[in-house]
Amino acid sequence: MKIKAFAKLNLGLKITGAKGAYHTLDMLCASVNLCDEVEIIPRPPFSLEVESNVADFNKERFKSYLTEKINKYALFGSLLNSKIYIKKNIPSGAGLGGGTAVLSAFAFYAMNSGETASNEELSKISSDLPYMLKGGFKRVKGTGDIIESAGIDKELSFLVVKPLGGVDSGAAFLLYDEMVKEGRAKSENKIEDIIRAINAGGEIPFFNDLEPAAARLNKGISPLKDSLEKAFERKAFMTGSGSALALLTSGDEDTDEILKSVEGYAFAAKVKTENLGVIF
């Protein structure tokens, strides 16, 4: 089976509390037309091959990450008797779902082979997994297990730019907690304001509660954001737990020319929103 698993952008990310060892979130997510390509052939013995042209991608680390997930979760058990080929187009450690995209392809394959899993079970594998199997504009709550329609029927275009290096999601959440204990005020931003602005055609108040923590962990985020906002004369925002930044563009804008004045990035791509999660 050949599967395409699409990247996502967090147009808004609010940390609302905690549930056991997990943070609870309120997010507006959108899938975009950047995808990883996965081919699964049910023939032993197990093998895993990955190719990628993405700058600063660590192939061996990514293979270890996937192998650990396959061995840990029963949902992926059938993959242990399969040959897996991956073309990695989504950067890892960027907040674009680069780790989860391939896992969503694995879950799609398993569930189409008769396995079952609830959103709660999927979210324990990766908080983005329930959403990334569905895709489109969705409001994602809880630990990633509550997926609601966002009521948006529009196509948006973005420029996505990643600095050198990524951000470890777990480290970003831990640092966020430390910063709150130090007295950093919690965000008053609301997902509803983003949805309302998109549908009304007004200025969109993108936000991400994790950005201050991520910017401490990856020192390239803040200067790249400043450079992008100066070059494009509009607000940039961080997606997921970082390190990638995005800014809204018109579909025909010559972003390549403007990017020539921006330094300190490892990856850049023009993307548009799609009503896609995983397809085969």
Q: Could you list the active site residues?
A: 8, 128
- Provide the token pair at 114: 């008769």
> Residue 168 and residue 177: Cα distance in Å, rounded?
15
Closest C-alpha to 52, from 94, 84, 98, 88: 88
Count of positions (residues) in the chain: 280
Distance of CA 272 to the CA centre of its chain: 14
The greatest distance separating any two alpha carbons of the chain, rounded to the nearest whole angstrom, comes to 55
CA distances from 184 to 21, 175, 207, 208, 210 (A): 21, 11, 16, 14, 12
> Residue 126 and residue 102: Cα distance in Å, rounded?
11
CA distances from 109 to 2, 72, 79, 256 (A): 9, 17, 9, 37
Identify whether the C-beta of residue 104 lies closer than 8 Å to the C-beta of residue 278: yes
Identify whether the C-beta of residue 162 lies closer than 8 Å to the C-beta of residue 94: yes
The residue type found at 271 is V
Contacts 24+ apart (CB under 8 A), 181-190: 184/212, 186/15, 187/14, 187/15, 189/12, 189/14, 190/14
> Residue 87 and residue 37: Cα distance in Å, rounded?
5
